[in-house]
Structures are given as C-alpha cells and as structure tokens.
C-alpha cells in the first residue's frame, strides 16, 4: 500500500511538472523571418540575406536551435513558393518578420527598412533588426 502511495505521488509530481512545462512553452511566441528573393539578385538583396543571417547567428543561435526563431530564405520566382509569396505579398526581395502567439499572427514587413539600411548602413540594419527580433520574442497577448 505504501508503494502505491509513493507511486501516486511521483505520478502527480510528473504530471504537474509536465503540464507546467507545456503551458510555459505554449505562451512563448515563435518568430519566423521570411526573406524572399528573385533569381537575379542585386548587391543590396544579397546584403539583406547576409546581414540577416549574421544577426541571427550572432545573437539568436540558442533560439534558432530551440525552434523559437526560424529563418526561411525563399526564391519568389520558384513556383513551389507561390502560396507563401501570395500570403506575404512578396514581390522581388521582401523581408518579413512574423510573430506567432497562439492564434495571433503579427506580420511586420521590413522590406523598406532593409533596402534603406542593409547595404548603406549595415550597423543600423543589424542593430534595428536585433531590436525588432528581441521585441517579437518577448511578445505577450
């Protein structure tokens, strides 16, 4: 009888810890970055991809490894990406930061920002992109 009580106690603790862990991960937002590009790319388009990867690899390796932050690099000319191109309204080179929290999807089109700073002021691009990602990762409903 004593063994059953001990087993029941262990089961209750396990269920509580498991449920708490699941609730905590459900409340964490997920952030997805989509970079669409065309087949023929200009130096600015290439710098957007390079700088975005640099920010993610430098500051967000842990979040990327955990799957909380994902980067998708897609050719907008490729027909297999048509659904995503349509969903995000991508044209040519497009940079999208999307925060997913529960049923909420918050899309932030960073294309103008990326073209303005990525090649001409990469430090500002990197600093501002880092700030935007950090804010997205902390988003709460």
CB contact at 8 A, 21 and 92:
no
Q: Nearest to residue 68, comparing CAs of 112, 109, 99, 23?
A: 99
Domains of the chain: 29-137 (3.40.30.10)
How many percent of the chain have pLDDT more than 70? Answer: 79
Give mean pLDDT, residues 28-53: 94
SS3 74: strand
Tell me the pairing of strands 104-109 and 30-37: unpaired
Q: Which range among 2-6, 24-28, 51-55 shows the weakest confidence by mean pLDDT? A: 2-6
pLDDT in tens, 63-105: 999 999 999 999 999 999 999 999 999 988 999 999 998 888 8
Q: Is the pTM of this model over 0.85?
A: no
Sequence-separated (6 or more) residues with CB below 8 Å from residue 63: 31, 69, 137
Sequence-separated (6 or more) residues with CB below 8 Å from residue 26: 102
């Amino acid at each position: 009888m004593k063994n059953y009580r001990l087993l029941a106690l262990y089961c209750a603790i396990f269920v509580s810890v498991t449920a708490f862990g699941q609730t905590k991960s459900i409340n964490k937002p997920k952030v997805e970055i989509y970079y669409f590009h065309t087949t023929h790319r200009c130096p600015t388009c290439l710098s957007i991809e390079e700088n975005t990867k640099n920010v993610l690899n430098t500051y967000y390796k842990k979040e990327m490894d955990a799957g909380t932050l994902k980067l998708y690099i897609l050719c907008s000319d490729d027909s297999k990406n048509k659904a995503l191109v349509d969903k995000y309204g991508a044209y040519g080179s497009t940079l999208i930061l999307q925060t997913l929290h529960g049923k909420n999807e918050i899309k932030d089109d960073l294309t103008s920002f990326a073209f303005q700073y990525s090649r001409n002021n990469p430090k500002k691009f990197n600093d501002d992109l880092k700030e935007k990602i950090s804010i997205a990762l902390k988003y709460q409903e």
